Amino acid sequence: MVDIHCHILPALDDGPASLETSCAMAEMAIADGITHIIATPHANSGYAFIPELVCERRNELQARFEGRLMFATGCDFHLSFENLLEIRRDRQRFALNQKNYLLVEFADYSIPPTLDQALHELQLAGLHPIVTHPERNPLIRSRPERLYKWLRQGCYVQVTAQSLAGKFGEAARAMAEVWLDAGAVHFLASDAHNLTSRPLRLKETFDHVAQTRGEGVARALLVDNPLAAFEGRPLPWVPELPAESDLDLAAARRRKHFWLF
């Protein structure tokens, strides 16, 4: 399996504090069947993103796992004014494996009206925005039509694997299932931060998706699409979204059973 969203590099953000913990997370990934990891430290106002330092930490970790696990770098790109200015100057600075896919993280407290234009500008710069863990964002859950609009605009979606196990609450789990059924999810990733509460595991999620939607879908979400993003290729699996009326009906049915706010 291939993990495109992982906070495994030491002492860069709220992930592992030491190289020893990073190595333990890598061993966990190998035992789980993961072969490729894109290390994606935060790039936001709380954590400065310094590509040279990120590359140095990646190289140190790669040297310890050469031949067992392949590492690349990217970031968890916060959609801020400052980051947008910087990415206009150097689009590959933030991209996954310095190719053409970009993890985009939204704030939980505000989705500005200029966001649609910002995503469009990223695409004009030759990047493919991947909206990270929207199922965990109450503002997006409450207005899923916005997510569908971004998808029709050409964006992609990454859901956190542990959301499907209920680790981020029932609302996140239920909405993740709705979006999976709608073909609105293109990647499942760990978003791992540590060894306990946010572990680097994907096999449980692979098995769940294989049992509920078929092994082909599981491979698409955890192997084929992530590897394409890792290598900078077009995604091999992009389902067509149902009509908007059908999507709205599915979301309404979920809201009758689960509290989404």
Question: Which pLDDT belongs to residue 251?
Answer: 54
In 3D space, the residue among 80, 92, 196, 178 whose CA is nearest the CA of residue 134 turns out to be 178
Residue with the two structure tokens 């994907």: 202
Pick the CATH number of 2-255 from 3.20.20.140, 1.10.760.10, 3.30.365.10, 3.40.190.290: 3.20.20.140
Question: Which pLDDT belongs to residue 260?
Answer: 46
Question: Which pLDDT belongs to residue 80?
Answer: 85
Taking the chain, what is the end-to-end CA distance rounded to the nearest angstrom?
32
Which amino acid, residue 87?
Answer: I
pTM of the model: 0.93
Structure tokens at 114: 């200029």
CA distance 213 to 231: 26
The SS3 assignment for 190 reads coil
Tens-level pLDDT at each residue, the chain (261 residues): 999 999 999 999 999 999 999 999 999 999 999 999 999 999 998 999 999 999 999 999 999 999 999 999 999 999 888 898 999 889 889 999 999 999 999 887 778 878 899 999 999 999 999 999 999 999 999 999 999 999 999 999 999 999 999 999 999 999 999 999 999 999 999 999 999 999 999 999 999 999 999 999 999 999 999 999 999 999 999 999 987 655 665 555 554 544 444
CA distance 112 to 107: 10
Question: Which pLDDT belongs to residue 261?
Answer: 40
CA 260 to chain CA centroid, Å, is 21
Question: Which pLDDT belongs to residue 250?
Answer: 55
Which amino acid, residue 136?
Answer: R
**Total number of residues shown for the chain:** 261
Widest Cα–Cα separation across the chain:
51
CA distance 246 to 14: 39
Structure tokens at 133: 């863990």
Question: Which pLDDT belongs to residue 192?
Answer: 98
